[in-house]
Amino acid sequence: MAKQTALELKRREVREEILAMKEKIPTAIMFNFFGGAFKKESLGYWLSNFIALNLIAFAPWILIGLLLNELVSNRYLWYPGSVVIVYFVLSLLLVHILTTNIFKEISNQIIPKVNEPADLEKFLQWFKSSWSAQVVLRFVIIMAAVWSLLGLGGISVAYHHFVGVGFSITTIITGVLAGISLYAAFWIGWLGLELKECHYELNAFSPLKSEVIHDISNILTKRVYLLAAYVAIGNMIGSTALTERSLTLVFSLPVALFVWVIIITLFLIIRLTLVTIVNQAKWKTLNKLELQINSIEAKGDLSDQATAEKILRLADIHERIMATETRIFDIRSLSTLFSQLMLPLLGLLLGNIDQVLALFKK
């Protein structure tokens, strides 16, 4: 009784701390600052953040561009540059909503199913460290640097012309926004790896059909599909006729390939997490049955009918549990992932259909 009470207290503590962290992550601090004049999560709150972030990103490009007369020389970047800025400002809003909702669902659905206080404490410490300023900042700096090198270097090489000081600063700012957005995707995969380290209350005879397995799959998979759909829309917009082919080849295509790798990796991590949790629970039950069978066999007489029936009954249960599903993949999840990944590919193909057709004519 005392052990159960201690477990419930720990669950409540972890749940409350995770919910409190929603206001401490970088996007929450940023959005609360820019949207402080409005009720939280109201229309005014989101609009003020959208406008403020766009102004911050566009300001160097426009102001320095006017000062140094760069806007005319890089006019080929007006459309794609504006689309990319608005797209990643919106992506920041999206990942903030997705992430904070994960906080709620983890607290309300997963934490009550963890049945080891040590696992709860370890998970809480990981949760805090994964959103520490040092970890997030390190990731964002690396991604912003890669983004800037790809964007500025690739575009400058493609056009044999420096894009300008103003656009360079805007690119770096956009890279920071992209880095924060990508960290959310990275964190979802990291969360999946961490969740498989916990012990849960599972159906002993069919772990795969436990509620917590369904919840973990739903929480993680839903986010991956939403991110894939958003990326698909971005690729389709970025590969329209308004975007020059040179920009598509040096920027859009590498970004699309990189995102595909991220999405596939996230999908594999989710499947690995689920099968690991199910297998751990499955073998825990099987090991208990084996101990019981061995104990009965060592102490009893196998010629005794009652003893033989006990062993046969336990062996039958062992066989049934052994045969339960622990599949990593299923047709439905694979088909959904495939359809999501095909959207960005179709966007790139449709945007460059003339070049694709030219390949077949040769």
pLDDT tens by residue, the chain, 362 residues = 677 788 889 999 999 999 999 888 989 999 999 998 899 889 999 999 999 999 999 999 999 988 988 888 878 778 778 888 998 899 999 999 999 999 999 999 999 999 888 999 999 999 999 999 899 999 999 989 988 887 777 777 767 778 888 989 999 999 999 999 989 888 998 998 899 888 888 877 777 788 888 899 888 888 888 887 787 777 666 655 455 555 555 556 666 677 777 777 888 888 888 888 888 878 887 788 788 878 777 777 666 777 777 777 877 777 777 776 665 555 555 555 555 555 555 555 555 555 444 434 44
The 3-state DSSP class for residue 38 equals coil
From 230, 225, 240, select the one nearest 348 (Cα to Cα). Answer: 240
Q: What is the dihedral of CA 343, 348, 354, 355, to 10 degrees?
A: -130
Grouping H, G, I as helix, E, B as strand and the rest as coil, residue 352 is coil
Measured CA to CA, the distance from residue 114 to residue 108 in angstroms comes to 11
Residues 362, 355: Cα–Cα separation, whole Å: 11
pTM of the model: 0.80
Cite the beta strand spans of 117-181 per DSSP E: none
Q: Which two tokens stand for residue 80?
A: 């794609």
Residue 163: φ, ψ to 5°: -75, -15
| 3-class state of residue 200 by DSSP | strand
Give yes or no for a contact between 351 and 241, defined as CB atoms under 8 angstroms apart. Answer: yes
